[in-house]
Amino acid sequence: MVRPTLSTTSTTPSDVDADVLVLGVRAGTDGAAPAIAPSAAGTPDALADLDLGSIGVTGAKDQLVRLPGTGVAAAGIALVGLGSALDAAAVRAAAGSAVRQLPQVSSIALALPTDSAELVEAALEGAALGAYAFTRHKGAGTTGPTRGDQRIEVVAPADTAADATVRPAIVADAAALVRDLVNTAAGDLGPADVADVAVAQAEGLPLTVEVLDEHQLDEQGFGGIAGVGRGSERPPRLVVVRYEPASASRHLALVGKGITFDSGGLSLKPAASMLGMKTDMTGAATVLAATIAAARLGLDTRVTAWLCLAENMPSGSATRPGDVLTLKNGKTVEVTNTDAEGRLVLGDGMAAASLEQPDAIVDVATLTGAQVVALGDRTTGLMGSDDLVARVRAVADAAAEPIWPMPLPEELDARLASDVADMVNATVGNPAGGMLLAGKFLERFVGEGIEWAHLDIAGPSEHKGGGYGWLGKGATGVMVRTLVGLAEELQSR
């Protein structure tokens, strides 16, 4: 993980020493012209009379215009669009966008609206998120971002706490861990490799890690994970990461789908659909990273992450359509589609988590193509218990991670009926309400009286288009900040 040096400075924008001074531009509304939004330390006099319209500056989100550093100590100036709002979400996105678009600039000073602690943290967080770069698979001689040598300062009020960078850096590190794992080629990252990463990441932190191998999974009744992983030469794993502060009164269980590659199994995917299936372990990476962040932040909430890891491959030993698996809670599932495997591994993880009677279970998964059809590439599908769904939605909104609640209609229960087992895992030939049907399946593995929320991140987990905000192409780390925020919210209840 490579990240720049992140700090705050109370030096006036005119005097700050940097290669590029970044100023925010607010888009004009109701006929008004776009204008530079003053930072906590003001706006450089040299730019006070600049006609932004004449140089094509509109203040639109993600617009970045470079200028010479005339009249300021910085070598150059960049104007970045804030949009029409001046809230934390706008500042976070503008900071991230500017840093993302200046990958090889050695030092950047962000003079954005930062006249409150919330805005300072938003700017720092956006900058740290925008500085992400994945270079593991780049060949020798490849030129690209040099983020490790980069220095980023946020112009902030003089009374800003010295530790203002701590939380933004930890949260950005958590998102970067997810992005690193998900961007890594599946050939280099099987279930055991993810388990090794979890053990390494926990070192030196108040965390314990338990790893169950394929033999222990069979012995302890994890039929879903074992069944999905049966066709691969790289056997499955269940990794349990525990953060247990002595004073915590609340327990949050996080369950993540960790299919390190999803071929579809014997229900083989078409070639085009198989491309990119290295991302199918995003849920497991997300719950791991959120738990590590909770430990680094010293939150007063007990957090347990369940990483349900398997590689879904076709072979002579693979689970067949029509086979019946017994999951951790004793319920049996007739496998009608081996490509509906995520709910099988999650069922095991959720049943095991329920045995500990946590206050809440949140599962995270790249679960259904139906989520993408219904909500697109940026909005996470949210289902579960009404109270927890409302709280998760509020936290996600505060983190500016788009999310939308979906129903769990009772009539879908009939579609899960099996002639030979307790339920089927999919209704082949009937795609209607696929995201909702998956939610109804998972609901059966939540212990009685436990609040539950399901996050389907199939679309938002990966960005495939042009950059926006702090995101370039590739894994996004979506929902890490929401899960950390939820753990923080629970400690105050």
Q: State the binding site for Mn(2+).
A: 257, 262, 280, 339, 341
In angstroms, the CA 39 to CA 108 distance is: 15
Q: Residues near 415 by Cβ (< 8 Å), separated by ≥ 6? A: 427, 430, 437
**Number of residues that this document lists for the chain:** 493
Q: In what order do the strands lie in the sheet with 332-334?
A: 324-326, 332-334, 423-424
- Catalytic residue among 92, 250, 328, 343, which? 343
206 CB contacts (<8 Å, ≥6 apart)?
243, 244, 245, 295
Report the alpha-carbon distance of residue 431 to residue 429 in Å, rounded.
6
Q: Which residue from 281, 235, 255 is spatially nearest to 362, judged by alpha carbons?
A: 255
Alpha helices in 151-233 (DSSP H): 166-183, 191-202, 214-219, 223-229
Catalytic residue (choose from 3, 242, 269, 331): 269
Numbered residues of the known binding site: 257, 262, 280, 339, 341
Is there a contact between 484 and 490 (Cβ–Cβ < 8 Å)? no
Q: Which residues on adjacent β-strands are paired with residue 408?
A: none
Catalytic residue flag (residue 269): yes
The span from the CA of 27 to the CA of 309, in Å, is: 46
Nearest to 93 by CA among 77, 110, 109: 110
3-class DSSP state of 111:
strand
Pair of tokens at residue 257: 């789908």
Single-letter amino acid code for the residue at 467: G
**Separation in Å, CA 32 to CA 53, 59, 84:** 11, 12, 11
Of 81, 87, 86, whose CA–CA distance to 397 is shortest? 87
Residues with a catalytic annotation lie at 269, 343
